[in-house]
Amino acid sequence: MKRFRKHKTIKIKKLNKYIFIIFIIFFISFMIYLYYINSMTDKIEIILNKKMTNINNNLVNNIIGIKSLEYIDINDLIIINKNKNDEILYVDFNLKNSYKMLRKITNEFEIKLSKKDLSFLKVKDKNLKSIGNMIYLDLPIGSIFSNYFTSSLGPKIPIVINLASSLASSLNVDIKNYGINNCIIKLYLNFDIYEDIYIPAKDKQIVKKVKVLVGSKVIEGKIPDIYGGTLSKDTSILSSET
């Protein structure tokens, strides 16, 4: 009986030893994995930056679209002041109309994203999928080496992206001399799209900027040489949580 108990005790000790060794191996491997990811964070962020640029351009184009811009009239949004020589002295915004338009565009974002369905983006990336407003990216470690042959190799780094957690929009108008005694006006919509990125061992918020041409027109007049042939004006930023 004593011999049996002794044999059983040795077995338990061996089992505990193996479990401890496995735990140490797993722990060391996990720490190496985290260290490796942290050391490669800059390269991961470069890859993410490219992917998010495409996704956000797609997002804006799908939500805004041509129909949303058809009702916008440049004449309702900007004010141009000229002197008696038909020179353009300054350009300003009709703030009431401008903020009304920005609010309408922002509401379209909020309505679209409130449905928590990003299938309309139709992003072609086998490592990327969306659930609600969250994007899940499994990034192969081989892709950080900027080599086509290794881009799909190695274990995958799980990355979660909260798409458009908040949005800031503004208007920008540029006026330039265009031919003889003419100027061209270009009106832009600017978006600052804030997104929360969750990488193992690190969380980060990034801001992606998207600029959309709303419309342009040619008017009579010229910009004085003192301004270098160009005038530009921005509205204040209108922010919202999505």
Predicted confidence (pLDDT) per residue in 88-125, tens digit: 888 888 888 888 888 888 888 777 777 766 776 766 77
Task: Name 57's Cβ contacts closer than 8 Å, sequence gap at least 6.
Answer: 210
Residues 67, 111, single domain; the answer is yes
Residues 46, 32, single domain; the answer is no
Residues 14, 52, single domain; the answer is no
pLDDT at 4 over 60: no
Residues 4, 119, single domain; the answer is no
Residues 160, 197, single domain; the answer is yes
Residues 2, 92, single domain; the answer is no
What is the model's pLDDT at position 2? 47
pLDDT at 208 over 80: yes
Residues 16, 86, single domain; the answer is no
What is the distance between the alpha carbons of residues 222 and 175, in angstroms, rounded to a whole number? 9
What is the model's pLDDT at position 109? 79
What is the model's pLDDT at position 216? 84
Q: How confident is the model at residue 204 (pLDDT cuts 50, 70, 90)?
A: confident
**What pTM was computed for the model?**
0.69
**5 or 188, higher pLDDT:** 188
**211 or 143, higher pLDDT:** 211
Q: How confident is the model at residue 173 (pLDDT cuts 50, 70, 90)?
A: confident
Q: How confident is the model at residue 54 (pLDDT cuts 50, 70, 90)?
A: confident
Residues 34, 73, single domain; the answer is no
What is the model's pLDDT at position 20? 77
Residues 139, 212, single domain; the answer is yes
What share of the chain in percent tops pLDDT 70?
76
pLDDT at 82 over 80: yes
Residues 20, 75, single domain; the answer is no
Residues 112, 225, single domain; the answer is yes
Residues 123, 11, single domain; the answer is no
What residues make up the domain containing 21? 1-39
What is the model's pLDDT at position 32? 74
pLDDT at 39 over 50: yes
What is the model's pLDDT at position 55? 82
Task: Name 151's Cβ contacts closer than 8 Å, sequence gap at least 6.
Answer: 140, 142, 143, 145
* Phi, psi angle pair for 200, to nearest 5°: -50, 125
Mean pLDDT for the stretch of residues 216-228: 78
What total number of domains does the chain contain?
Answer: 2
What is the distance between the alpha carbons of residues 172 and 213, in angstroms, rounded to a whole number? 9
What is the model's pLDDT at position 144? 66
Q: Is 22 exposed, middle or buried (0-12, 13-18, 19+ CB in 10 A)?
A: exposed
